[in-house]
Amino acid sequence: MRLGVVDVGSNTVHLLVVDAHPGAQPLPASKHKIDLRLSEHATEDGAIGDEGRERLADFVAECLTVAEDQGVEDLRGFVTSAIREAPNGTEVLDHVAERTGVRLDVLTGEEEARLTFLAVRRWFGWSAGRLLVADIGGGSLELALGLDEDPDVAVSVPLGAGRVTRDLLPGDPPSADDVREARRCVRATIAAELRPLAKAGTPDLAVGTSKTMRSLARICGAAPSSEGMYEERLLERARLAEKLPEIAAMTTRERSDLPGVSASRARQLLAGAVVADATMDLLGLDHLQICPWALREGILLRHLDRMG
């Protein structure tokens, strides 16, 4: 059957259409996205502004049309931190439902971590042993660790690349003092979450997911996307540490010229690098293996499991 999932993140809104049935690998059939950047449509108190609300409703309606054109039998939609944390998030979701008939579900940060972990486990299989998964989104960093398909530990930390850029890294490029302070804050925030992860055991495989991780791996020497999703890609901590000062000194325009970095993500690249570097350093990881599957695939896999 053909399934669709609409993923409303802090940076982008994605529609992923796959051909799937229980017990089979979901095969991508179509993708559609918009760089909405909901956090940039927020007021001072974090509420989603009218323009952001209307653009979201318009795009969900567009996704519904694309899904119908693609023969989707079941369309699911979910939202993450940008709307989850907005004081008017419920009103925004009600407006989208009234406009489109699509009710977007709100995922908690822990649910994000667990569903992403499920996708990574299915990708690498049981032979990977104990998995550690790190996912850097626009609003939050998700960490999960465990031996099974449901992790033993799953935490969400407010350290997304968009959030860190907005709150801690002003300027283009930011000053050396701001970069140093951002590094200090990020590391302190991650360190406060380490105890349950440390108690859960040493991972056999550490994995990174998300567009930010893929971009960082690419500028550190990993294979380009043109070589296919099955090519092994690593984000090496030593190489990232070497690159960080260079990235910090670049303007957004200069970063957008780096391989694998889109213009829409260039401003957040430094924040993502600071968070990834801190995560690997504090967890004692030499590298992260990049997984092409993440939250959207986890949503689809969980849905297929329940159908079976």
Q: What is the pLDDT of residues 26-67, one digit of tens each?
A: 898 999 888 888 877 777 788 899 998 999 999 999 999 999
Identify the pLDDT of residue 37: 80
Say whether pLDDT at 108 is over 70: yes
Identify the pLDDT of residue 227: 95
Q: Where in the chain is the domain with CATH 3.30.420.150?
A: 109-295
Beta 153-157 vs 141-146: how paired, if at all?
antiparallel
**Mean pLDDT, the chain, whole residue set:** 94
Which alpha helices (H) appear in 7-108, and where do they start and end? 50-69, 81-84, 89-100
Q: Which residues pair with 19 in a beta bridge?
A: 2, 27
Distance, CA of 20 to CA of 27 (rounded, Å): 6
Identify the pLDDT of residue 40: 74
The helix-helix angle for 161-168 and 269-282 (nearest 10°) equals 110
Residue 27: count of CB within 10 angstroms of its CB: 10
Distance, CA of 218 to CA of 193 (rounded, Å): 28
Average of per-residue pLDDT across 189-212 = 96
Say whether pLDDT at 181 is over 90: yes
- The CATH class of 109-295 is alpha beta
CATH level 2 (architecture), domain 2-106: 2-Layer Sandwich (3.30)
User: Which has the closest alpha carbon to 4: 19, 20, 21, 16?
Assistant: 16
Reported as a single tens digit per residue, the pLDDT across 122-170 is 999 999 999 999 999 999 999 999 999 999 999 999 999 999 999 999 9
Per the CB < 8 A criterion, the answer to whether 213 and 292 are in contact is no
Count of all residues that appear for the chain in the document: 308
Identify the pLDDT of residue 82: 85
Q: 1 falls in which pLDDT band (50, 70, 90)?
A: confident
Q: Where in the chain is the domain with CATH 3.30.420.40?
A: 2-106
Reported as a single tens digit per residue, the pLDDT across 268-284 is 999 999 999 999 999 99
Which alpha helices (H) appear in 128-175, and where do they start and end? 161-168
Distance, CA of 46 to CA of 10 (rounded, Å): 12
Q: How far apart are the first and last CA of the chain?
A: 13
- Give me the phi and psi of 48, to 5 degrees please: -80, 125
Q: 308 falls in which pLDDT band (50, 70, 90)?
A: low
